[in-house]
């Protein structure tokens, strides 16, 4: 049997073509600025830096609300005291086509005290974060963008401490990197510094607090 050159090309093309339904590998995140977004969220007339990103290449369950809450508890944070939140919600535009959207949640340091630990944070101050997910039609990485900071106690109305954005970010990362456990889950977290997303300094930053412009990229794997 003789095959024409055209037939051979068709056969080879069919063999080399990817199978239908093969999932492409994801990405860590998309730069919000590429599609009109910002690495600063919106709070009053300024914004808080989105200074930690949970990579879209993390284990998928970590990027869900329940999965991230479980992970957060493993690294020292949990839901607010009895679910109570004072103050308005902050918004972020992650350049994913959703525009400016409300924070998904606020989580606070729990001091390793079940149930009541975040009540201590509300009274005494400590670390806290706000979560935003990049999942819109224009940039669906699934990554979580976190605004992390260290805040004062209740008597000072939870103002951010001096250098609180860098301090809060670094404390969170120190608690996260390596192997951590909560209930039945074990997490392995690695970190990489990302520069260029945030402009160092205090321009446009809430309370005029300067920050160093470094974003910490965490990749979390459920073991």
d(CA 48, CA 219): 22
pLDDT digits (tens, 9 = 90+) for 111-134: 888 778 888 777 787 899 999 999
If pLDDT is split at 50, 70 and 90, which confidence band does 196 have? very high
Structure tokens at 113: 């005290």
Residue of 7 and 158 predicted with greater confidence: 158
Within a 10 A sphere around the Cβ of 130, how many other Cβ atoms?
A: 23
C-alpha dist (Å) from residue 218 to 121, 128, 141:
24, 17, 14
Please check the confidence at residue 108 and state whether its pLDDT lies above 70.
yes
Structure tokens at 91: 């918004």
Residue of 7 and 150 predicted with greater confidence: 150
If pLDDT is split at 50, 70 and 90, which confidence band does 82 have? low
Summary count for the chain: helices (H), strands (E): 4, 10
If pLDDT is split at 50, 70 and 90, which confidence band does 80 have? confident
Tell me, what's the pLDDT at 94? 98
d(CA 64, CA 109): 20
* pTM given for the model: 0.85
d(CA 161, CA 209): 9
């Amino acid at each position: 049997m003789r095959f024409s050159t055209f037939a051979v090309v068709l056969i080879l093309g069919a063999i080399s073509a990817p199978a239908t339904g093969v999932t492409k590998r994801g990405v860590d995140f998309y730069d919000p600025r590429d599609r009109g977004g910002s690495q600063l969220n919106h709070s009053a007339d300024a914004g808080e830096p989105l200074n930690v990103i949970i990579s879209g290449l993390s284990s998928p369950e970590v990027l869900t609300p329940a999965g991230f809450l479980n992970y957060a508890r493993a690294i020292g944070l949990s839901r607010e005291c009895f679910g109570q939140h004072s103050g308005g919600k902050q918004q972020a535009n992650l350049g994913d086509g959703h525009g400016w959207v409300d924070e998904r949640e606020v989580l606070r340091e729990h001091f390793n005290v079940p149930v009541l630990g975040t009540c201590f944070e509300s009274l005494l101050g400590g670390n806290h974060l706000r979560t935003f997910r990049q999942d819109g039609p224009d940039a669906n990485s699934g990554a979580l963008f976190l605004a992390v900071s260290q805040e004062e106690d209740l008597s000072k109305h939870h103002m951010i401490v001096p250098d609180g954005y860098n301090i809060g970010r670094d404390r969170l990362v120190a608690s996260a990197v390596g192997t951590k456990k909560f209930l039945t889950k074990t997490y392995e977290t690695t970190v990489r510094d990302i520069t260029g997303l945030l402009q160092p300094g205090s321009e446009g930053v809430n309370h005029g607090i300067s920050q160093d412009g470094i974003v910490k990229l965490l990749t979390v794997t459920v073991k």
